[in-house]
Structure 1
Amino acid sequence: MTRHDGGRLRRRARIVLCTLVAVLAAALAPGNGALAEDFVVAGPLVDYRAAGTAIAVDEPQGDFVSHSAYSGGATCPCGCGGCCGGESFWLRAETLLWRLSGQDLPPLVTASPTGTPLPGAGVLGDPSTSILYGGDTAGDGWRSGVRLSAGVWLDSCETFALVGDYFHLGQDGDDFSQGVDGDLIVTRPFFNTQTNTQDVQLISQLNELDGDVRVESFEELQGASIGLQQCLKRCCDPCGRGPSWRIDLVSGYRHYEHNSRLAIYEDLLVLPGTTQPLVPGTTIELRDQFDARNEFHGGEFGLKTRVERNGWLFESLLKVAVGRHRRTVDVDGSTLNTVPGAGAFLFDGGLLTSTATNIGSYQDTRTAVIPELRLSLAHRLTQRLTGRVGYSLIVWDEVALAADHLPPGLAVDPRNLPPVAAGGGPDPAFPGIQGSTLLAHGLDFGLELNY
């Protein structure tokens, strides 16, 4: 080899070294990905090129991929076999702040000023009457609850997972109580079908009755599911430059349960100055109670999407459950009269309930379709712990509510009240099982542990 040939080889070696350095620098520079041209200024003499001559260099395609995430191509791995997760299971605990659509109530307790003539005191439509309870929606306020979710991957590539959740939305009690008030005549309104006029039952009146009335109204909702989560498509960026995302199919078993109650209680004492055909000192304990229960069992399916970038995560879940919806309505009532010197007498039925007409248990089963939507935004607090905030929505049609099964128009035939007399009509009637749309929605706040 001549000295001239050795110098040429050294110069070519410098060319290769400079080119490798330039390519490596371009590959590690942020923001690269598409094929593009860059220019490198040559040294004093590079392969017979003059100093300062620009050399065109092609940058590599794609982002840098670590060896563990490399799947054979120049781009980041996409597909359900990418194996870029490394998590085995997750556990999520959330506090719920939700609202339900509530129950529509007719006027149940009324009053008029003391001194109002009895034929009109407390009667609906009378100018002196004010509504103390009812005539609006009950149970539609904010209420708290809890939801627990968990899942475990069944394979190392996070293709299949076993998932489940349970939530409970607590009772939003809309209770009411009215005791003796010397300035008021307190009554319970109803429509008297025997006289075909609006009428009332006295609760408290000066020198007539000392009494109090209580109304209990509540709803509660809970649900649970167990199923499989299957990866449909995902794309991972182990470098953290772009978003990682995945789309999963969710399917399995779903259960929902909704319960509601409307109950009215009276405790009365007949006073010595009574003008009613009652023995002074008699006590009367009366109860009207309406309960509704809804149970759903079925299958559900839906799509779950997840996008993550720079420690922030956005998730959406849209599911539809299809199955059997069983509705049960129970109507009950009682009246206990304790008469001085005569003893206690217990009867079935109250003011809005009667053994002759509507007391009993009623049930039917129908097909229901229940959609559910969840949206959440999360941030990784540590490698394993994530904080979350989100919104949830459940829509359940034809739900039986307790208040929907009061006698229509609060119509009552007094002959059917205890003790039941002959010749009474169909009132207070059972209207048949009624359905309303239940809307449950609100905010979710939680933490998720991944391991």
Structure 2
Amino acid sequence: MKPKKLILSTALSAVALFSTQVGAQTPYGPGYPPQAAPAYGAPSGYSMMGGGYAMPYGPMGPAPGYAAAPMGYQQVMPAGYQDPTMAGDPPMEYEQYAPGQEYGESVMEGSPYGETLHDASCSSCDLPPRVYGSADLLVMWRKSSNLVSILTTSDAVDEGVIGAPTTSTLFGGPEQGHALTGMRITTGLWLDNYQNWSVGGSFLALEREVQGINATSAEFPTLAFPFFNTNTNANASIVVALPGAGNNAADNTTVGIRKDNNFYTGDMFFTKHLYTSHANRVDFVGGYYYARIDDAMKIRAQYTAQDAGGTVPVGTVVNVGDNFLAKNEFNGGEVGLIFDFQDGPFTWRALGKIALGSMHQRMAISGSRQETFGGITDEFNGGIYARDSNIGDYSRDVFCFIPEGQFDLIYALTCNLDLKIGCTYIYVSDVALAQGAVPGTINPSGGDPVYTFGSDDYWALGATFGVDFHY
């Protein structure tokens, strides 16, 4: 629990600290108002235009071919240009430029960058963009978990019991996760020409991750589901494949285990410009945040009984199965900061935010057993690990926090389109997962297992490749 508290306190402290420091900064005086630049997926790189408007170099800085001069170099101004800070008259007031003027008499008139825009033939750049968005391809890895041993094999004498000399685990232990692809879509609208306020939304989803195993008695003559017997205080197993005709003998066995995981998030946000320094800016982001994580485990086995002294007649076909389904739904509020640092046509963007709210967790456990003999099928409640004592629906609501970080390098391809590459990290402090419901202990006489919610966390980390647009 302590690491979770450390992550929460660190994320909250970082947002509060940076917000306080940024808010204490003093923007430029009249004539050089804070530049309006992007937030949450919006373009950056808008230079001052003296009249209070933000003039776009291009989407993420100057369009190719006319990049802004690097720091330390003197920018050559067009003939006739006079720096308003060097003139005898005071800087021109904002009111002298009315929003919505046409290009020829707009805030561009007299600007040192007016000729650049004419040369670029970029009529869409005469005023700052109002609509922005992005589309990202994600390649991510999620947190792997340790599963209890669910399926084992061994020599016939050991019957797949954990700790026996020849027993080995076929499914269970550390998960072998793999890279998952996904997508993130963001869109927004600036509410003013100064790009001080915007509203928008985003959606992120990863592909379904599937892990599992299919095994047969032809491959593994001995197959078993291990557990710890709380009645005898010893390891034991439920055998579904065993050669011979003695106790627990069974053949014609097929076993299938499948584990699924789904993850997606969405939010509705607003952004507020906080501070600008040259072509760099900081914005506050806040809003509503939603997340959902579904995790499921299905276990199936079919075999033909060959034990003459068993509880079912020889030749009985047995179908047995368990279902463990976990659903997690988060609803809460988010706060964070967006930093843009421009260097010519390139922009470095960092987003850090944290969502705080309630996670509704639900666990549904079910199991069934069918025995078919002589054309007659009998059905029973309860499967392998799903027993009368733990079958049912369980739910609870817990406090949860979800920090999220993004870091992108953005290149201005055209006036309205940028390319970007970066990374994303998302952490979820409390989730219910299917493996947490698979019991390691069973009392065959009844009363055990009993399900109780555990405390698992979850994270996803990976690379992003995408495009930004703004118009």
TM-score range, shorter chain: 0.7 to 0.9
* Alignment check: 8 A CA contact 1:203 1:210 kept: no
Aligned with residue 204 of structure 1, among 238, 241, 250: 241
Identical residues among aligned pairs (%): 25
Aligned with residue 156 of structure 1, among 188, 193, 196: 193
* Alignment check: 8 A CA contact 1:209 1:270 kept: yes
Matched, 1:433 2:453: yes
TM-score, length-normalised on structure 2?
A: 0.71
What's the CA shift for 1:108? 0.8
Structure 2: distance between partners of 1:182 and 1:371:
46
* Alignment check: 8 A CA contact 1:401 1:435 kept: no
* Alignment check: 8 A CA contact 2:360 2:397 kept: yes
What's the CA shift for 1:68? 3.5
Structure 2: distance between partners of 1:188 and 1:150:
49
Structure 1: distance between partners of 2:129 and 2:288:
25
- Aligned twin of 1:68: 107
Distance 1:182 1:274, change over 3 A: farther
- Aligned twin of 1:26: none
What's the CA shift for 1:193? 2.4
What's the CA shift for 1:163? 1.5
Structure 1: distance between partners of 2:86 and 2:421:
32
| AA at the equivalent of 1:179 | T
* Alignment check: 8 A CA contact 2:144 2:174 kept: no
Aligned with residue 144 of structure 2, among 94, 102, 106: 102
What's the CA shift for 1:183? 5.6
Structure 1: distance between partners of 2:209 and 2:433:
14
Distance 1:380 1:280, change over 3 A: same
- Aligned twin of 1:311: 345
* Alignment check: 8 A CA contact 2:326 2:363 kept: yes
Q: Provide the secondary structure at the position in 1 that maps to 2:454.
A: coil
- Aligned twin of 1:267: 302
Structure 1: distance between partners of 2:406 and 2:460:
12
Matched, 1:167 2:188: no
Work out the number of aligned pairs and report it.
360
| AA at the equivalent of 1:448 | D
Distance 1:112 1:275, change over 3 A: farther
Structure 2: distance between partners of 1:171 and 1:359:
26
- Aligned twin of 1:23: none
- Aligned twin of 1:27: none
What's the CA shift for 1:69? 5.9
Query: Following superposition of structure 1 onto structure 2, how do residues 118-157 of structure 1 map, counting pairs within 5 Å?
Result: 120-138=158-176, 140-157=177-194
- Aligned twin of 1:412: 442
Q: Provide the secondary structure at the position in 2 that maps to 1:449.
A: strand
Distance 1:301 1:358, change over 3 A: same
- Aligned twin of 2:387: 354
* Alignment check: 8 A CA contact 1:85 1:158 kept: no
Q: Provide the secondary structure at the position in 2 that maps to 1:92.
A: strand
- Aligned twin of 2:366: 332
Structure 1: distance between partners of 2:126 and 2:436:
54
Q: Provide the secondary structure at the position in 2 that maps to 1:195.
A: coil
Q: Which has the larger radius of gyration?
A: 1
- Aligned twin of 2:280: 245
Deviations 1:408-430 (A, max 9, x none): xx211223xxxxxxxx3x21221
| AA at the equivalent of 2:296 | R
Distance 1:284 1:257, change over 3 A: same
* Alignment check: 8 A CA contact 2:159 2:239 kept: no
| AA at the equivalent of 2:367 | G
Structure 1: distance between partners of 2:363 and 2:325:
6
Structure 1: distance between partners of 2:266 and 2:372:
47
- Aligned twin of 2:415: 383
Relative contact order: is structure 1 or structure 2 higher (C-alpha 8 Å, sep ≥ 6)? Answer: 2
Aligned with residue 215 of structure 1, among 242, 249, 257: 257
What's the CA shift for 1:385? 1.3
* Alignment check: 8 A CA contact 2:138 2:465 kept: yes
Matched, 1:371 2:403: yes
Distance 1:401 1:337, change over 3 A: same
TM-score, length-normalised on structure 1?
A: 0.74
Q: Provide the secondary structure at the position in 2 that maps to 1:374.
A: strand
Matched, 1:447 2:464: no
Aligned with residue 399 of structure 1, among 431, 435, 453: 431
* Alignment check: 8 A CA contact 1:32 1:63 kept: no
Q: Provide the secondary structure at the position in 2 that maps to 1:403.
A: helix
* Alignment check: 8 A CA contact 1:92 1:149 kept: yes
Q: Any stretches of 5+ residues in structure 1 without a counterpart?
A: 1-29, 34-58, 73-82, 237-243, 416-423
Structure 2: distance between partners of 1:402 and 1:346:
25
Structure 2: distance between partners of 1:121 and 1:264:
19
Aligned CA-pair RMSD: 2.7
* Alignment check: 8 A CA contact 2:427 2:458 kept: yes
Distance 1:70 1:362, change over 3 A: farther
* Alignment check: 8 A CA contact 1:124 1:189 kept: yes
What's the CA shift for 1:206? 2.6
- Aligned twin of 2:119: none
What's the CA shift for 1:164? 0.8
* Alignment check: 8 A CA contact 2:305 2:317 kept: yes
Structure 1: distance between partners of 2:287 and 2:390:
39
| AA at the equivalent of 1:367 | F
Deviations 1:50-99 (A, max 9, x none): xxxxxxxxx97979999936999xxxxxxxxxx99611111211111111
Greater CA deviation, 187-196 or 152-161?
A: 187-196
What's the CA shift for 1:104? 1.8
| AA at the equivalent of 1:404 | G
Distance 1:108 1:386, change over 3 A: same
- Aligned twin of 1:297: 331
Structure 2: distance between partners of 1:375 and 1:174:
30
| AA at the equivalent of 1:250 | V
* Alignment check: 8 A CA contact 1:121 1:128 kept: no
What's the CA shift for 1:384? 1.4
Q: Provide the secondary structure at the position in 1 that maps to 2:210.
A: coil
Distance 1:84 1:249, change over 3 A: farther
Structure 1: distance between partners of 2:403 and 2:260:
24
Structure 2: distance between partners of 1:290 and 1:70:
67
